[in-house]
Amino acid sequence: MILLDKAKNNTVVSADNLTKQYNSLTAVNNISFQIKRGERFGFLGPNGAGKTTTIKMLYGMSPLTAGTLEVIGLDVLTQVREIKKRIGVVPQETNLDTELSVIDNLLVYANYFGIPRNIARKRAEELLDFIHLEKRADTMVDALSGGMKRRLLLARALINNPELLILDEPTTGLDPQARHLIWDRLISLREQGVTVVITTHYMDEASTLCDLLVIMDEGKIIAEGSPAELIARYISQEALEIRVIPDQIQKAIDILSPKSESYEAQDETLLFFAPSADKLLKIAEEAKLKIEYMLVRRATLEDVFLKLTGRRLRD
């Protein structure tokens, strides 16, 4: 019994048969998942997969059509106010108050949570340090760059010391420096034990940030695991990318695909996945394939994603 209680306490989000319908459109179609305390959990998927809708249900912005959803042990249908006090949300849109300074954006938010002014100021200053905006405390939000605004949104989401932080596409549209700074801060939060949930369509972001991922497509979860598990399960550890002269394409497939765990034709380029791409290359050379281009590399989450969700454009 005690063990069972412990297991339950360790679960921060529990979704069972979660469904969201917008009129006749099923945006989220009967999905179940669990997120454990301290985990960094990602929802990955092409546009329109249902990622944002799923996490909007998590933070009480979108009512469920069917299923059950518990967040930090509370029911989103009946205890949403309590949930909101204990979580932080970085939405996709930059909804800062542009008429206020950087620090006042944080203080106003602290006020919503009933945090006493002196404690709020200290916490706001610490958070500005945390996101490297300490020199901008009195700058008006309008004067900030896109990256600075995203960082401020992150600080705002942390003002109430949340147990669970939810971020919807935290780095979309940012330059590499700004993205890396956000990633670094999110990694540091993980070290502090905060549970982090993100949506993203950036594979490198998912690989870097997430311990566990679900890949969604058309409202369904189509795969679940750590980045390394997904790569091992759906393709293989390494990839050989190869381009041969056109009349040898079929020969290359005939020779290499039986030696591969998975293969794919990408226009003129053939992709073969195996534990050792060097071995495949050797086989190609021994068969005297006329190679125009080749690359031996590690397989990536992007390879898994394209294999599972296809190459069809989604919008």
Using CA atoms, how far residue 82 sits from 75, 76, 148, in Å, is 10, 9, 30
CA–CA distance from 125 to each of 109, 122, 136 (Å)?
14, 5, 11
Stretch that binds ligand ADP, among 31-39, 49-57, 251-259, 299-307 (CB under 6 A): 49-57
Applying the rule CB under 6 A, the residues between 50 and 109 that interact with ligand ADP are: 50-53
Residues in binding contact with ligand ADP, number by CB under 6 A? 11
**Distance between CA 196 and CA 194 in Å, rounded?**
6
C-alpha count within 13 angstroms, C-beta hemisphere, residue 35 = 29
Q: How many CA atoms lie within 13 A of 244 on its CB side?
A: 20
Cβ 308 to ligand ADP shortest distance, Å: 14
Nearer to ligand ADP, 28 or 103 (CB): 28
Taking contact as CB under 6 A, which single stretch among the options 47-55, 96-104, 130-138, 287-295 is the one that binds ligand ADP? 47-55
Strand partners, 270: 242, 265
Provide, rounded to whole angstroms, the least separation between the CB of residue 25 and ligand ADP. 6
Which one, 22 or 112, has the nearer CB to ligand ADP? 22
Minimum CB separation of residue 313 from ligand ADP in Å reads: 13
Pairing of the two strands 40-44 and 212-217: parallel
4-33: contacts with ligand ADP (CB under 6 A) = 22, 25, 27
Tokens of 179: 């993205």
Q: What span, in angstroms and rounded, lies between the C-alpha atoms of 134 and 130?
A: 8
Indicate which single residue of 11, 21, 48, 306 sits in contact with ligand ADP (rule: CB under 6 A): 48
| Residue 214: CB minimum distance to ligand ADP, A | 12
Pick from 31, 44, 49, 158 the residue near ligand ADP by CB under 6 A. 49
**Closest approach of ligand ADP to the CB of residue 22, in Å:** 3
The token pair at 176 is: 């590499």
User: Following DSSP, what letter does each residue of 171-219 receive, concatenated?
Assistant: TTT--HHHHHHHHHHHHHHHHTT-EEEEEES-HHHHHHH-SEEEEEETT
Q: Smallest distance from the beta carbon of 168 to ligand ADP, in angstroms? A: 8
**Secondary structure percentages of the chain, helix, strand, coil, to 5:** 40, 30, 30
Nearer to ligand ADP, 50 or 162 (CB): 50
Cα distances (Å, whole numbers) of residue 136 to 124, 131, 254: 12, 11, 61
Which residue number, 53 or 195, has a Cβ lying nearer to ligand ADP? 53
Cβ-based neighbours of 300, under 8 Å, separated by 6 or more: 203, 207, 231, 239
| Contact string (CB under 6 A) for ligand ADP, positions 187-226, x = contact | ----------------------------------------
> Measured from the CB atom, is 65 or 257 closer to ligand ADP?
65
CB of 224 to ligand ADP, least distance (A): 16
- The CB-of-306 to ligand ADP minimum distance in angstroms stands at 16
Residues that bind ligand ADP (CB under 6 A): 22, 25, 27, 45, 47-53
